[in-house]
A and B are shown apart, each in its own frame.
Chain A
Amino acid sequence: MTAPLLPADVAAKLEEHFPAVVVEAGDALVVEPAWLGDVARFLKESPQFSCDYLVHVTAVDYMDYFEVVYYLNSIEHNHGITLKTRVWDRDDPVVPSVVSIWPGADFQEREVYDLVGVRFAGHPNMKRVLLWEGFPGHPLRKDYLWEQV
């Protein structure tokens, strides 16, 4: 069983390297989107965390803001951490891509873009993956309405 790391402990460690990037460290570690790439690379490459496996990328629409969620695991230490970031711009939410860190994020970030509409800056192929080109809107947004065919 993968042991969950305490977000507060990880936040304390992060403070040493990246001061004032942690927004919240309750159930999960929430960081500023501008620092997401640096924090993700640190969590992957530091020997203490060594989170080399990105389990899942998803996003939640809280109406006020979008929360992009990353589940990170370490194969070596068999521990995991939930990393989140919040973006408040509803018209054009942009989060840095982590494809350069975990190539497996490629399709999952495209799916998040497809269904929730969060763009990932630096993604090599940022387009829809499930729905077709020309589909109106992003259907997993809470305010999404569509006309019954």
Chain B
Amino acid sequence: MNGADAPFFSPASDIDLLEGQAVNELIASARQAYPDVDAALQVVEGNLLTTTIDRMLNLGRKYSVWPAFFGLACCAIEMICTAVNRYDIARFGMELFRASPRQADLLIVSGTVTWKMAPAVRRVYEQMPEPKWVLAMGSCAISGGPFASSYAVCPGANRFLPVDIYVPGCPPRPDALLYGIMMLHDKIMKSSIFTKAEAAS
């Protein structure tokens, strides 16, 4: 058998046939491209929001801290100024100063607490539903202020209340009170339903 008579094609071996079959099958099944792996997420995106229960609750609490309508001394005047339109506490969802402590979340101890008044302050706090926060406003509520050594003045609201935020000043300007409220917002955002004691101070 010379070269001219030799067949142009050699007979295919089995392994070659298997290989060709596999390639052809793959080609037949590859008419359509696979969809992108995150295509399902692209459908969800823009339509769904994922969050945690903590964050959702905290956002709700943060933007609806209703203070109790409760003033003790000159600091209460600054607190009222904070509520009116010049400083506008309504920006934080706090414009509802509740006349009943049962509808309030935040007790602003705004002024000097005398020992004779302290049981009433404590009763207001105890009537507030959980979660609740206490903000000590001004030197007197923090430490008794200039009256700290008096026989009639309680040296600091933290003697009978768990205080979350201290706002110094005599009295603090509305700006300072607003800053204290924003610090309270930060504190609320850091709280968790799993650490209830911390969240409710």
- Which residue numbers of A lie inside 8 Å of B, CB to CB? 130-132, 135, 139, 146, 148-149
Chain A residues within 8 Å of B152, by CB: 130-131, 139
Chain B residues within 8 Å of A146, by CB: 151
Q: CA of A75 to CA of B129 in the docked complex: distance in angstroms?
A: 55
A148 engages B116 (CB within 8 Å): no
Contact of A148 among B115, B149, B154, B159 (CB under 8 A): B149
Given contacts A131-B152, A132-B116, A139-B152, 11 further A-B contacts (CB under 8 A): A130-B116, A130-B152, A131-B116, A132-B115, A135-B151, A139-B151, A146-B151, A148-B149, A149-B154, A149-B155, A149-B159
User: Main secondary structure on chain B at its contact with chain A?
Assistant: loop
**What's the A-B contact tally at a CB cutoff of 8 Å?**
14
Q: CA of A123 to CA of B116 in the docked complex: distance in angstroms?
A: 24
- Least CB distance, B72 to chain A, in whole angstroms: 16
Chain B contacts with A in 145-182, Cβ cutoff 8 A:
149, 151-152, 154-155, 159
Chain A residues within 8 Å of B116, by CB: 130-132
Closest residue of A by beta carbon distance from B149:
A148
Closest residue of B by beta carbon distance from A137:
B151
